[in-house]
């Protein structure tokens, strides 16, 4: 089943008020390509100003806390994100799994909190280079999905992003065959975990997506869009990726 593609930008800890000017051209590209969805996930501090500047563009967060409120200094709840204007939240990014020691169970709780508040959760999975070299990539990702997919997730509320850790920010990408193999395996796992909703959950590829490789990657079976880091920071790079995905 061909799903409507989603091209999401993850600005990570980059951006400023001035950088929001990039969103004007990104919104224009989103409006020009009505066959797919486009989103930008800026740092927390830019969510509200981004949503105010481009109300027609989906804005997401890069993390969310699993609790509704309380004594969690420095954290942000799903309801706060909704109030700020977000409609999505990334959970379980490999940088947070590594830097903040987030476990699959925590990632699952964050995804559930996001969904309960009306956000779409973009749940990231992916193997390290050592795990791939050892032949364990499929098993590692299957384990992450078992441990972190919220079983109430649906095609509307849950998106999976396959981001091999070794491809993030390195300029390296897996072969088309390896992407196809992994995405087929993720689809099979979602079908098992989510029954009728499994086939409807979009599976994004992330890791060094650029204007030059976007169309090829987006044309792979079971690739339903992209999660883009560095190349989402400027409209000059991100708009051609949107166009490449629309053409795939
Ligand atoms: P890059 O596109 O910079 O490799 O980052 C990918 C990523 O981690 C998106 O979440």
Show me where the domains of the chain are located.
6-21+29-231
Of all protein residues, the one whose alpha carbon is nearest to atom 5 of ligand 1 is 229
- Does the Cβ of 168 fall within 6 Å of ligand 1? yes
- Among 215, 205, 126, CA closest to 165: 126
Whether ligand 1 lies within 6 angstroms of the CB of 60 is answered as no
With beta carbons less than 8 A apart as the criterion, state whether 235 and 29 touch: yes
Go through the chain and tell me how many residues it has.
248
Distance CA 223, CA 200 (A): 12
CA angle 36, 151, 156 (to 5 degrees): 20
Residue 213: its pLDDT value, please? 97
Find out whether the beta carbon of 229 lies less than 6 Å from any atom of ligand 1. Answer: yes
Q: Supply the pLDDT for residue 155.
A: 98
Residue 163 bears catalytic tag? yes
In this predicted structure, what is the pLDDT of residue 19? 98
Task: Quote the CA–CA distance of 4 and 225 in Å, as a whole number.
Answer: 8
φ/ψ of 2, rounded to 5, equals -80, 120
pLDDT of residue 193: 98
212 in active site: no
Interatomic CA distance for residues 131 and 129, integer angstroms: 5
- C-alpha 184 chain-centroid distance: 18
CATH code for the part of the protein at 6-21+29-231: 3.20.20.70
Query: pLDDT value at position 226?
Result: 98
In short, whether 206's Cβ falls inside 6 Å of ligand 1 is yes
pLDDT tens digit at each of 248 positions of the chain: 699 999 999 999 999 999 999 999 999 999 999 999 999 999 999 999 999 999 999 999 999 999 999 999 999 999 999 999 999 999 999 999 999 999 999 999 999 999 999 999 999 999 999 999 999 999 999 999 999 999 999 999 999 999 999 999 999 999 999 999 999 999 999 999 999 999 999 999 999 999 999 999 999 999 999 999 999 999 999 999 999 999 98
The Cα–Cα gap between 70 and 173 comes to: 41
Which residue among 89, 90, 97, 206 is best mutated to probe the pocket of ligand 1, counting the most ligand atoms within 8 A of its Cβ? 206
Kindly state if the Cβ of 208 falls inside 6 Å of ligand 1: yes
- Closest ligand 1 atom to residue 228 Cα is 2
**Which atom of ligand 1 is nearest the CA belonging to 231?**
2
* Nearest in space to 87 (alpha carbons), one of 130, 56, 126, 108: 56
Beta bridge partners of 123: 91, 160
Given this model, what pLDDT does residue 232 score? 98
Any ligand 1 atom below 6 A from CB of 63? no
Protein residue with its CA nearest to atom 7 in ligand 1:
229
DSSP letters along 88-113, please?
EEEE--HHHHHHS---HHHHHHHHHH
Ligand 1 mutation pick, 91, 230, 232, 234, max ligand atoms within 8 A of CB? 230
Q: What is the DSSP string of 125-173?
A: E---HHHHHTT-HHHHHHHHHHHH--TT--TTTEEEEE--GGGTTTS--
């Amino acid at each position: 089943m061909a799903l409507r593609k989603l091209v999401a930008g993850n600005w990570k800890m980059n951006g400023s008020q001035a950088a929001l000017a990039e969103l004007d051209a990104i919104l224009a590209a989103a409006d020009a390509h009505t066959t797919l969805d486009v989103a930008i996930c800026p740092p927390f501090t830019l969510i509200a100003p981004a949503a105010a500047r481009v109300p027609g563009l989906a804005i997401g967060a890069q993390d969310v806390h699993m609790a509704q409120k309380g004594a969690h200094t420095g954290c942000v709840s799903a309801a706060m994100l909704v109030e700020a204007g977000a409609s999505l939240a990334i959970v379980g990014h490999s940088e947070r799994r590594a830097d903040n020691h987030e476990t699959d169970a925590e990632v699952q709780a964050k995804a559930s909190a996001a969904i309960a508040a009306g956000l779409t959760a973009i749940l990231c999975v992916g193997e390290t280079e050592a795990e791939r070299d050892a032949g364990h990539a499929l098993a590692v990702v299957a384990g992450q999905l078992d441990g972190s997919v919220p079983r109430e997730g649906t095609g509307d509320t849950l998106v999976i992003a396959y981001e091999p850790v070794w491809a993030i920010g390195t300029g390296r990408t897996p072969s088309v065959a390896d992407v196809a193999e992994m995405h087929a395996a993720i689809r099979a796992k979602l079908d098992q975990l989510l029954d009728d909703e499994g086939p409807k959950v979009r599976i994004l590829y992330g890791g060094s997506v650029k204007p030059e490789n976007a169309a090829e990657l987006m044309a792979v079976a079971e690739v339903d869009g992209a999660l883009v880091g560095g190349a989402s920071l400027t409209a000059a790079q991100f708009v051609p990726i949107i166009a490449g995905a629309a053409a795939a």
